[in-house]
Amino acid sequence: MDRMNQIRVLVVDDSAMYRAIVQDVLSDFEDVLVVGTAENGRKAIEAVAAYRPDMVVLDIDMPEMDGMAVLQVLQQQFGHVVPVMFSAHTFEGAQLTVEALQQGAFDFIPKPSTGTLWTNRMLLKNRLSSILEAVKRIKRIRFNIEKQPSPYSKPLPIRNSDTRSRVVGIGVSTGGPQALLQVIPKFPADLEVPVLIVQHMPAVFTTVLAQKLDNVSRIRVKEAEDAEPLLPATAYIAPGGKHLCVTPSSRSLSSREIRITDDPPENNCKPSADVLFRSLAEHFGAQATGVIMTGMGADGVEGLRRMKAEGATIIAQDEASCAVFGMPRKAIEADIVDIVAPIETLAAHILHTIR
């Protein structure tokens, strides 16, 4: 097989059974080659040096050298390797996983705790399928980076608008925890508007993400709750497995409150950025800012289109700073984006729409 189109994977887990299951699932993909397995972090580093994988699927809790230590070595010495973490679906597992994501892990795969072997195998295969597609795109981008400049590399002109936003909505997926860590802490303590965030994550993980961001931010960051009022200087993260939107307040005709729903997934996402953005278009019109950041797929584009039609300002993270330039690229191609900005200046552009 053409090396350029092949994904070389190393599987690292101290459980022989789980290594075998993951290796078996990966064998279903004809463009994937499992170059080796390892049962601890020390052997994982040796295998990475020997086999030069494109991707390492890595457990966090291991003997001799844990996954967090391995991640640090990969970041420092093997920058070409895409690290993907196994995660236990527990509060402790979520804490470690979110920390790994904020330190540079590309994505994570929840370890199943219930269900049949067949069901868990299919869930693992579906999760790996989307990650592998993203890794292929990363390889192609790296291969062509000097041959073909990105069509999105030039900044778009900033739209002049006298309308001040009264709310900020953010949609983000793969690479989101690390990206949010570079944006939310830059907001001032006296931020005059609320910020609503859809990060594609399961339940528990969004709780942990909110806590970690709250610890390093000047504004309050919390997991959103149904029927709570929208307050300035507060960021609300959609709970995993639920949708987040806004509705007229039951307390005041002139204010808005949060609504958490259990409606079906949209774009295979729950929470979905489209759900949030549509509600901002309906209830804030031109007085809103929609932000689309790193992530796979196209979630958020149709909602942003609705916001744009109402006169809202739309901001997209640029290709160079995205872990995956999927969601922002779709919005840019739809010609609904006013500003394309690197992650370093994203917060400043958002603030400019408020002040």
Q: Which member of 274, 299, 318, 338 is catalytic? A: 299
DSSP state of 158: P
Query: CA 322, 298, 221: angle at the middle one, nearest 5?
Result: 60
Q: What is the 3-state secondary structure (H, E, C) of 53-113?
A: CCEEEECCCCCCCCHHHHHHHHHHHCCCCEEEEEEECCHHHHHHHHHHHHCCCCEEEEECC
Tell me how far the alpha carbon of residue 239 is from its chain's centroid: 14
Given the residues 54, 87, 165, 200, select the one marked as catalytic.
Answer: 200
165 part of the active site: no
Active-site position among 173, 217, 272, 279 = 173
Residue 299 a catalytic site member: yes
Q: Is 200 a catalytic residue?
A: yes
Tell me the two tokens of residue 105. 């892990």
The Cα-based distances of 83 to 37, 136, 148, 241 in angstroms read: 14, 14, 26, 25
300 backbone φψ class: left, alpha, beta (φ>0; ψ -120 to 50): left
Cβ-in-10-Å burial (0-12, 13-18, 19+) of 49 comes to exposed
Which stretch of DSSP H or E encloses residue 347? Answer: helix 343-354
Catalytic residues: 173, 200, 299
